[in-house]
Chains A and B, each alone.
Chain A
Amino acid sequence: MRRITWLPVAAVLAGTAGVVVAQTAKPKPTEGKTIAPEKQWKPRLLSDGQPDVQGTWTTVYYGMGCLTNPTNGDVNCVPPPGPRPAAGTANAGGPPPPDASGHVLGQRGNGNPPSVVNVQAPGGGRGGQRGAAGGSTAGGGGERAAGGGGAYVADGAPQPAAAKAPRAPRMARNAPSRIIDTENFDIPYTPAAAAHEKELFAHYYEPVGYGDIDPQQRCWPLGAVRQFTWHDVTFEQFPSYLLMIYSGSEVYRIIYLDNRPHIGSDLKLWMGDSRGHWDGTTLVVDTTSNNAKGRLSRAGDFSSDKVHYTEKFIFTDPDHFRYEAKFDDPSVYTRPWTFGFDEKRGYFGGDGGVPNGQVTAESQAKFELWEEACHEGLIPGGNDVPGLPSIN
């Protein structure tokens, strides 16, 4: 059987995260909050003085559907009009029920506060399902790479054919909004930008033009920030460089630590242009030249290509860091705001690139990030989308 890509790395991670924490016997931080370490972490230093943060990392709350309620598919922002995906498919589900006051957590303009923690029942939800469905998930990934695109609304999850198998209904669960420093934990769009976001979201499932389709569906790079909400990232360090190499797509970032100037501001890149420095155990990265063609979520969130990020990777212990990216883009936002979430070190069992089985020191050392090609710019059946005029 052909196996073209290795998809379920993050899936397995998500499925085994609890086990991992137990095995490593590390104190589990209160996820979703900035952690103040009880003792200052003293990392091993590399030859050029960088703290050693090499390894593979994954987001604590996996998912890029909705920023205000990150972990319940993409429908917990105010649901767009149009038909819902079939039950049991990648983006099925619905908003959680309103609370006594009538508010629905995670709705636009009502992002989940940091006090919300993952209320998912143990063993339920997406991580376990994905782990259990690992075979079909890998097959889906293979089809995506070979056929030149993902399921039209791909979530790295089983394709419709595979999804016919019975599976437990997705449970509503909530995580803190990824917007951490605005009053309503939502993005402070200007009125015109808010209307544009609403328009993009409204046509997410029923595009009326090719430009409505989330570029993520064509396997284009997600942009410097959104990429962290999706699959894993491997950090590699070299004198004057920190590399971020992502699974889930062929894409990387090079963080230059040598004080070189930014490239010209008119030269735009999918992943931006990044200059960094270490402030103790915090990596501070200044990122410009974003082409902003990648969106920030599936709910139509976006920035313009004038956006400037100041990113902080706040390492608190050998296994955790807090990511905070301050977005400054007066053409779209009424004030700067901060995109924040937590990442944890990935632990891998098994042998090499097959991360199944028990996690041991040996298995962890053997882990290899394997090719997962997804960048053809195509979706199944070619460029054309049913209901829209032919491209070719």
Chain B
Amino acid sequence: MSFRNISCFTMIAGALLSASSAGQSAKPSVALRPPSIPRLSDGKPNFNGIWQALGSADADLQDHAANAFAPGGQSVVEEHVIPYLPEALKLRQANFENRDKADTETTTCNLPGVPRITYARNLPFQIFQLPKGDKITVLYEYAEAHRFIYTNGTPHPPGHINWYLGDSRSKWDGDTLVVDSVDFLDETWFDHAGDYHSEDLHVVERYKLIDADHIDYNVEIDDPKVYLKPWHIDLILYRRKEKNFQLLDYVCYAFPIDKYYP
């Protein structure tokens, strides 16, 4: 929108003013300057706060019409479709057909893996970050889960280790926090539509503040057993700003708790 406004302004300026003044209008405008982002005392972008995804990635990362489970949604896959290997696509389709029984997020309330924990049920999560800290702690309302994202340069532990949320080590690429995660088990899906991976999953999340209240959340997903090539999810995460907003609990029940524990 801002680019369109500027070119519009340039045309008007060119029409109304002399050729010499048209040069002035080509100077960078205030609107082009990147918005300021909050920073910690060590100069790093400050991600502290409570964040939440919108949209329907949890239902299906790719284009999907509304159904009883969730609203419809446009694909959040940058490549538009996930580049499955031919055999893997068959399994994905079988997963899709069986999704009401086989999605462990919705049926047995297992931890949903990475990156699904970020948008699982679109629940909020809180980032805790210190200047020069050795890790960033993320607490999720989903199932009271947490992640430690190490920022101290340590490598992944000797693996393979089967974890729901993997092992996360990060580094900074300019103002972008780049989180490298491996050591996943193969049970989790990326959505309720059966999009799956093997234990060779390698996830690289890129968190970038685009202004004080929005994070561009870009995720590269690679798994040579399942995909032809790496592919990407891109979402916006929104800051919760309500006064006294806080995380509650979403202890997911694979059991009719209200019936037996009233």
Contacts and interface: CB of A to CB of B under 8 A. Distances in A.
Interface of A: 2-5, 142, 145-146, 148, 209-211, 215, 218, 220-221, 236, 238, 241, 243, 245, 250-252, 254, 256, 260-261, 263, 267, 269-271, 293, 352-354, 368-371, 373, 375-378, 383, 391
Given A148-B108, A371-B165, 10 more contacts: A2-B185, A4-B185, A5-B163, A148-B110, A238-B48, A260-B244, A271-B144, A370-B163, A377-B254, A383-B255
Interface stretch (B58-66, B71-79, B202-210, B245-253): B245-253
Contacts of B255: 210, 218, 377-378, 383, 391
A293 B249 CA distance: 13
8 contacts: A2-B185, A250-B143, A252-B144, A373-B110, A377-B109, A377-B254, A378-B254, A378-B255
A3 B246 contact: no
Contacts of B109: 375-377
Contacts of A270: 144, 249, 251
Contacts of A5: 163
Contacts of B157: 352-354
Nearest to A253: B144
Nearest to A258: B244
B96 interface: no
A250 B111 contact: yes
Contacts of B137: 236, 243, 245
Contact of B139 (A254, A260, A376): A254
B238 interface: no
B122 to A, nearest CB: 19
Contacts of B37: none
B246 A375 contact: no
Contacts of A263: 246, 248
A267 B143 contact: no
Interface string B7-51: 000000000000000000000000000000000000000001000
Given A148-B108, A211-B261, A245 B146 contact: yes
Given A250-B144, A376-B109, A269 B249 contact: yes
A251 B150 CA distance: 19
B89 interface: no
B148 A368 contact: yes
Contacts of B164: 4, 145, 371, 373
Nearest to B137: A236
A209 B249 CA distance: 26
Interface string B159-186: 0011111000000000000000000010
A3 B154 contact: no
B130 interface: yes
Contacts of A354: 157
Contacts of B1: none
A281 to B, nearest CB: 21
